[in-house]
Amino acid sequence: MIDHQSQLPIGRQLLGMSRGSVYYLPKPVSARNLEVMRRLDELHLKHPFMGARQLRNQLNRQGFPIGRKRVKTLMTKMGIEAVYCKPNTSKKTPGHEVHPYLLRGMTIHRANQVWALDTTYIPLAKGFAYLTAVVDWATRKVLAAKVAITLEACHAVEVLEQAFKHYGRPDIVNTDQGSQFTAKALVDAVKSQGCQLSMDGRGAWRDNVSVERLWRSVKYERVYLHAYDSVGQARASILDYFEWYNHERPHSSLKRKTPHQAYNDWLPTLKLVA
């Protein structure tokens, strides 16, 4: 990635990526914490409404003596929170802008009308990573994805720009209020394409339900069946799964078409609009 023989400064070679993401070395995580995080991920997927107290109780019942504060710390590290409607009393990250939710009451019926952009936690045998993906809301097609070791905005921007390059642009890009999505770099990437940016109500999982269904599918059908030894192994396996998901996995909601078939049905119309 970095050419130390080049005359270009390292900062220019990174093309907007932070130095931290390049030189980052994950801090060792104890085997016990990794197991707890794996259990938290499974519990959160099954019971997204559970907060730190309820998750602590569930872990205690499973034989993990752990306190609420520790559970909350691990949830923050994993990038998850209880999903229920609550007042947005949290402080905004300086320089970050939260946008309103635009999809309420909208009928989403065609490709490239709305894209969903989200990130989820991926357990590894001796650590963890994060999966970011862009999904076409109407057809469920995964347009771009990346597995990385940090939750920085540069990864979300990279995935979104890959989707723009290969699939054009949607009317709306919908995200949650995570710091990587409210960052100026991400907001600028969306607006530079003439798209509207929509953000879920804080903790309102139904606002981005299409991508939540994808996370359930990829985790139960691929991730939980493996103990990935490295980020590279996880990346290859998950991207292979998405290739299968797009081209081989039919959905009843798509009249038994695959996401790829459903998306391609719209291509003539999308070209005429463009």
Q: In this predicted model, what pLDDT tens digit does every residue of 19-68 receive, in sequence order? A: 555 555 556 678 888 899 999 999 988 888 888 999 999 999 999 999 99
Check: pTM over 0.85? Answer yes or no: no
Q: What pLDDT score was predicted for residue 26?
A: 54
Q: Minimal CA–CA distance to 156: which of 171, 178, 123?
A: 178
174 and 226 co-located in one domain: yes
Q: Could you tell me the end-to-end alpha-carbon distance of the chain, in angstroms, rounded to an integer?
A: 35
Residue 100, exposed/middle/buried by CB under 10 A (0-12, 13-18, 19+)? exposed
Q: In the numeric block, which tokens belong to residue 101? A: 């939710």
The number of folded domains in the chain is 2
Task: Print burial letters for 84-94: b (CB count within 10 Å at least 16), e (below 16).
Answer: eeeeeeeeeee
199 and 269 co-located in one domain: yes
187 and 125 co-located in one domain: yes
Q: What pLDDT score was predicted for residue 7?
A: 58
For the chain, residues with pLDDT lower than 70 are: 1-28, 84-96, 201-208, 269-274
Range of the domain at 245: 114-273
120 and 74 co-located in one domain: no
167 and 49 co-located in one domain: no
264 and 139 co-located in one domain: yes
The C-alpha R_g of the chain, in whole angstroms, comes to 19
Q: What pLDDT score was predicted for residue 247?
A: 97
Q: What pLDDT score was predicted for residue 89?
A: 32
67 and 158 co-located in one domain: no
pLDDT digits (tens, 9 = 90+) for 109-121: 999 999 999 999 9
